[in-house]
Amino acid sequence: MTEIATPTTPESADAPTRPSGRYDRSIIEGPLPRAVWKLAWPTMVTNVIGGVQGMVDHVLVGHLVGYTANAAIGVGFQMFLVVIVFISSLFTGMSVLVARFVGAGDEEKVDRVVYQAFLTAIGLSLGVMAPVGYFLSPYLLDLVNAAPAVQAEALPFLRVMFLFSSGMLVFFMLGGALRSAGDARTPMVLGMAMTLLNLALSVVLIRGLGPIPAFGTVGSAMGTCIASGLVALYALYRLWHGGWVVSFPRGRGFGPDWGIIRALFRFGLPTGIQGIAMNVGGVLMLAFVGTLAQSAAAQGAFAVGYSQLFSLITWTSVGLMGAAAAVAGQNLGAGQADRAAHGVAVAARIGMYVAATVGAMFLLIPRQLLAVFGMDEPAVVEIGVQLLRVLSVSGLFIAVALTYTGGLQGTGDTKGPLYISIISQVVVPLGICFFIQWTGTLEPLDIWLAILVGHVFRCALSVLRFRQGTWRGIVVDIGATAR
């Protein structure tokens, strides 16, 4: 049993929690397919729209700068994720606590958790990620064997992302809090506004307009940071003045509550390590891609095929992962463990349907999809088509894996997905690539198949872990504070 508890007052320990009228109770009382879909579809739309913005960036730089710029954004963003995923891991801890307390109808604890998650995110982003990321950027690019032309484009992109990403972290924090509390539509609206603003800024900053010069690849990072910063400022205003399903608590001071922060990290830290392990695995996989005979072409195909087109599957699956986490956490908080398990299974089925549909596109029109990104060099197209064919199968497994990961994390079992990710996303695929490289010649298809095998392992292990049911005994509490 995993337990998080801080000392409680006798009054708070004995008093039952009343159901709150602020929250949507259909998640713990209504039909499960409807509840899962109600939470999932706004997140899917948000992810797809946001992903389209990333695609537009790739299209613009691909046509205006060349495929080296596509590789630069792909490589640079992969580096950025290694750090940002760790810092944003506390949002998983926040989501665990928020979902459980919403299920129990405890508004006061929900708001306290959200405010402390905000303080921690800002402190880490400004005090750790910005300075460390800026100075480590050149070394990170060397680590993946990025070609010199790719490094020249990626370095300023990466440094801008590290220095000005606080707004993005606040947006991620807010979205996780609202979805865990049962409101997925507000993050969708904010995400659409941020994406539209990002699109407009990217078009102007990448290609230039009037007196504004063309910044090229780094213009993509500038647009992202400006747009997310403006949306974050609006979100903070609303959290302070109220009106959403979550808000900042009033009358409790503005300082950190170390008991809650420890709880955030106890649940969130395994997810942070998991994210780092997965992204380090991705970085090392890029390093293997960089050792290929046609490294620049392979990196460009990987950036578009895996980082962009495969996201058509992962965007929707991540939406379902969040829905599974919220449904499982809230129902466990309401004392309905069987309903929590059923909700995760429903989310997994929906994920498989979506992955099968997108996978069919990868099989039927791969060249047309690559052409959208300006991928017309024969070597790049050949490698990209090969990758998409493998990913058409891989998507089925990763969709199921992500939904069951959400179910585990939403109930508080964040250590299980950590171990599973290290095995399936690091040890297995990198081990396959290393063995092939050691015994012969590593080809692009070998790397793509290694990714597929890793996804199969992740799917199988995630389902098995969830069906063990150890999450049913996890206890969550942060205690009460005096007013």
- For the chain, the domains span 29-471
Which two tokens mark 134? 């800026």
Residues 401-410: what's their mean pLDDT? 95
* Separation CA 253–CA 246 (nearest Å): 18
pLDDT for residue 60:
67
* Separation CA 306–CA 312 (nearest Å): 10
DSSP classification of residue 15? S
Neighbouring C-beta atoms of residue 155, cutoff 10 Å: 20
| pLDDT-wise least confident of 42-46, 94-98, 430-434 | 42-46
Which residues are within 8 A (CB) of 477 and not within 5 positions of it... i.e. 6 or more apart? 3, 4, 5, 6, 8
End-to-end CA distance of the chain: 31
Q: Are 170 and 85 in contact (CB under 8 A)?
A: no
Q: Which residue has the tokens 């380090």?
A: 280
pLDDT for residue 21:
64
Query: 337-389, pLDDT tens digit by residue?
Result: 999 999 999 999 999 999 999 999 999 998 888 888 777 788 888 888 999 99
Query: 188-227, pLDDT tens digit by residue?
Result: 999 889 888 888 888 888 777 878 887 877 888 898 899 9
* Separation CA 248–CA 238 (nearest Å): 9
Residues 74-78: what's their mean pLDDT? 70
* Average pLDDT, rounded, for the chain: 83
Does pLDDT of 439 surpass 60? yes
Does pLDDT of 102 surpass 80? yes
pLDDT for residue 8:
35
pLDDT for residue 422:
92
pLDDT for residue 56:
66
pLDDT for residue 286:
79
pLDDT for residue 364:
92
Task: Identify the helix (H) or strand (E) that includes residue 4.
Answer: strand 3-4
pLDDT for residue 466:
96
Identify the three-state secondary structure at position 145.
Answer: coil
Measured in whole angstroms, how far is the alpha carbon of residue 182 from the centre of its chain?
Answer: 18
The stretches of 291-377 forming alpha helices (DSSP H) are 295-304, 311-333, 337-364, 366-371
Tell me the pTM: 0.79
Does pLDDT of 419 surpass 80? yes
Q: Which residue has the tokens 């590789």?
A: 71
- Give the confidence band of 58 by pLDDT, cuts at 50, 70, 90: low
